[in-house]
Amino acid sequence: MDSVIPSAPAKSTKVDFDWADPFALDNQLSSEDRLVRDTAKAYAEDKLAPRVIEAFREEKTDTAIFSEMGELGLLGITVDEKYGGVGASHVTYGLVAREIEKIDSGYSQCCPFSPL
């Protein structure tokens, strides 16, 4: 009868899981994509959030928001440059929309279309 010799258990390679980025998207982005995303995030958190709360309370829209987003290149982001847009990819648009949507989803809907 052949005896079975137990082998040592396989070494476990622990992979750290990042709940904030489960698909390691950040590692797949270009430096330009990250720059645009970070710009949108900073604007959304610092400038948009306080004004959205006030606008909701007062039932009005601050139209300066659209001009500011345009100046940052966040509007018309997928529109070709020859038509006044930024000419960025749809991935870049998705990154911008995600950051703006964290504050108010309504404002993110103008990003791909309106090169003001």
pTM: 0.77
Within a domain: 35: yes
Q: Which residue has the tokens 């606008």?
A: 55
CATH of the domain at 58: 1.10.540.10
Determine whether 41 is exposed, middle or buried from the number of CB atoms within 10 Å of its CB (0-12, 13-18, 19+). Answer: middle
Tell me the residue range of the domain where 81 lies: 30-108
pLDDT tier, 10 (very low <50, low <70, confident <90, very high otherwise) = low
Domain count for the chain, please give it: 1
Within a domain: 5: no
- Taking 90 as the threshold, does the pLDDT of residue 110 lie above it? no
Task: Give the tokens for residue 50.
Answer: 């306080």
Per-residue pLDDT, averaged over 33-62, amounts to: 94
Within a domain: 68: yes
- Taking 70 as the threshold, does the pLDDT of residue 75 lie above it? yes
Tell me the C-alpha distance between 37 and 25, whole Å. 12
Amino acid at 99: E
Which residues, 6+ apart, have CB-to-CB distance to 97 below 8 Å?
108, 109, 111, 112
Which residues, 6+ apart, have CB-to-CB distance to 30 below 8 Å?
none
Within a domain: 18: no
Q: If we measure between CA atoms, which residue out of 113, 100, 110 comes closest to residue 43?
A: 100
